[in-house]
Amino acid sequence: MNDSPLLSFRGVTRQYRQQSQPALDAVDLDVERGELLALIGESGSGKTTLLRLAAGLEEPDSGSVYLEGKCIAGDECPGAMVPPEKRRLGLVFQDGALFPHLTVSKNVAYGLKKFDRDRVAHCLETVGLTGKEKRYPHELSGGERQRLALARAIAPEPRLLLLDEPFSHLDPILRRKLREEIRCILESLDQTSLMVTHDPEDALAVASRVAILDRGRILQTGVPSEVYRNPADQYCAERFGPANRVVDRESGKNIWKRPEDARWIACEIADEGDMVTVEHVRPMGHIYEVRVAPDEYDGETWLCFLKDASLIEPGERGRVAWRGSPEPVAWKS
């Protein structure tokens, strides 16, 4: 079993002419075999650029990109960049980029050297589109289109699958469903994948490892639940949802706590937690969102998710304490 990473970036920098900041700034990153690495970041963080560099749709300005240990672009192999069609990668585009003038089966077969009916049938079955061979992309529903995009990408058995915000065009319910299905498919194929998304739930649901980008730099990598629990800074914390800055009593450092870890202590004179004033309370179906203003954090507020806040009123005074980290969950890394 090969130990070396499938895809590597070393010191990769990319700057667009119109912008003053580089899109990617000396980035180092590895994608290990068999893993699904999710790149998370705001728009403009450089995650899509990284993906396109991997695909060969763009070239790095400095640094190098390696595929299976061999340089495919950059300083290490100047003038010898491997063009996209020779890299044997798959890419699932944001909006599918399906060929409108070809049928479903022709779309899937597009990347094959010869039209292989069995392979096409197998791929369609894998994604659950059997029976739709003769349809055209515009005749499929949104979810079916993404599945077709996946089938087309995996048909030529790519070494690495790239996914560019594959669920962003779908409504939330469909998104949940498709996420789960795709994760199963990719796992069953043992397909190494690199996914770009701005939706933290995608990463948490699908990825085995996550990397957070901000303005061209990687801030943190790790198992999703780990990063969720222990974000490196505010930016990383906020990728996954609201986070509250809490100053750790012992070390004096900032730590980041999730709203669901908040505990409400109605008593003002308890010796754990901090004094807060409640600003507002909103029932959100499964939990209550309660925003409080801690006394010792001038101007800042905390967001707390409480199971039952029916008795809490705005203006009330109380204490909020934070639960500790849970045991690490077994996760594929």
Partner 1 sequence: MAITGTAEAPTSPEAQLPPRSTRKAWLRWPTDRWGFGVAVVAGLILLPLIAVLLYLGRESVEWDHLVSTVLGGYLKNTLILVLAVTATVLLMAIPPAWIVTNYDFPGRWLFSWALVLPLAIPTYVAAFVFYQGPEAAIPLLIWIRTNISIDAFFVAELVIRYGLLIVMLAAVLYPYVYLACRAAFSQQSRTVIEAARCLGDSPRKVFFGVALPMARPAIAAGTALVIMEVINDYGAVHFFGVPTLTEGIFRTWFNMGDKVSALRLAGIVMLAVAVLLVVEQLLRGRARYVEAEASSVPLVRTKLPRGRGMFAAMVCLVPLSIGFLYPVTRLVMWAWANLTSDAGVPIRAEALGRGLLLAAGTATAVTLIAAIFMYAVRLRTSATRSSLGRVAGLGYATPGAVIAVGVLVAVGAFDRLDLPWVPIISGTLFAIAFAYMVRFFAIPLQFTRAGMDRLGKPLEEASRLLGKSPMATFLKIDLPLLRGPLIAAGMLLFVDILKELPLTLILRPANFETLATTAFSLASEARLQACAVPSLVIVIAGGIGLVVMNRWMSAPSSHE
Stretch that binds partner 1, among 89-97, 175-183, 251-259, 302-310 (CB under 8 A): 89-97
Q: Examine residue 59 and tell whether it contacts partner 1 (CB under 8 A).
A: yes
For 101-119, b where at least 16 C-beta lie within 10 A, e where not — what string? eebbbbbbbebeeeeeeeb
CA atoms within 13 A on the CB side of 170: 22
Contact 242, 299 (CB under 8 A): no
C-beta closer to partner 1: residue 62 or 301: 62
Stretch that binds partner 1, among 152-160, 186-194, 200-208, 323-331 (CB under 8 A): 152-160
C-beta closer to partner 1: residue 11 or 128: 11
Contact 124, 151 (CB under 8 A): yes
Q: Examine residue 28 and tell whether it contacts partner 1 (CB under 8 A).
A: yes
Stretch that binds partner 1, among 186-194, 212-220, 284-292, 315-323 (CB under 8 A): 212-220
Q: Examine residue 238 and tell whether it contacts partner 1 (CB under 8 A).
A: no
Three-class SS state of 173: helix
C-beta closer to partner 1: residue 101 or 249: 101
Which one of residues 21, 70, 80, 83 is an interface residue with partner 1 (CB under 8 A)?
83
Q: Examine residue 142 and tell whether it contacts partner 1 (CB under 8 A).
A: no
| Burial of residue 18 (number of CB atoms within 10 Å: 0-12, 13-18, 19+) | exposed
Q: Examine residue 46 and tell whether it contacts partner 1 (CB under 8 A).
A: no
C-beta closer to partner 1: residue 33 or 176: 33
C-beta closer to partner 1: residue 91 or 306: 91
Task: Give 140's DSSP letter.
Answer: S
Q: State the minimum distance, in angstroms, from the CB of residue 114 to partner 1.
A: 12
Which one of residues 61, 116, 260, 279 is an interface residue with partner 1 (CB under 8 A)?
61
- How far apart (Å, rounded) are the C-alpha atoms in residues 191 and 143? 21
- How far apart (Å, rounded) are the C-alpha atoms in residues 241 and 203? 12
Q: State the minimum distance, in angstroms, from the CB of residue 36 to partner 1.
A: 15
Q: State the minimum distance, in angstroms, from the CB of residue 159 to partner 1.
A: 12
Alpha helices in 75-171 (DSSP H): 104-109, 117-127, 142-154
Q: Examine residue 2 and tell whether it contacts partner 1 (CB under 8 A).
A: no
Alpha helices in the chain (DSSP H): 47-55, 104-109, 117-127, 142-154, 172-189, 200-206, 224-229, 234-239
Q: How many residues bind partner 1 (CB under 8 A)?
A: 57
C-beta closer to partner 1: residue 76 or 201: 76
Which one of residues 114, 138, 253, 286 is an interface residue with partner 1 (CB under 8 A)?
138
Task: Give 157's DSSP letter.
Answer: -
C-beta closer to partner 1: residue 55 or 255: 55
- How far apart (Å, rounded) are the C-alpha atoms in residues 254 and 234? 9
Contact 53, 9 (CB under 8 A): yes
> Cβ contacts of residue 80 below 8 Å, gap of 6+?
71
Nearest to 149 by CA among 198, 141, 194: 141
Q: Examine residue 223 and tell whether it contacts partner 1 (CB under 8 A).
A: no
Q: Examine residue 286 and tell whether it contacts partner 1 (CB under 8 A).
A: no
Stretch that binds partner 1, among 18-26, 192-200, 239-247, 268-276 (CB under 8 A): 18-26
What is the binding site for partner 1 (CB under 8 A)?
3-5, 8, 10-11, 13-15, 17, 22, 25-26, 28-30, 55-57, 59, 61-62, 66, 69, 79, 83-91, 93-95, 97-101, 110-111, 113, 136, 138, 152-153, 156, 211, 217-221, 232
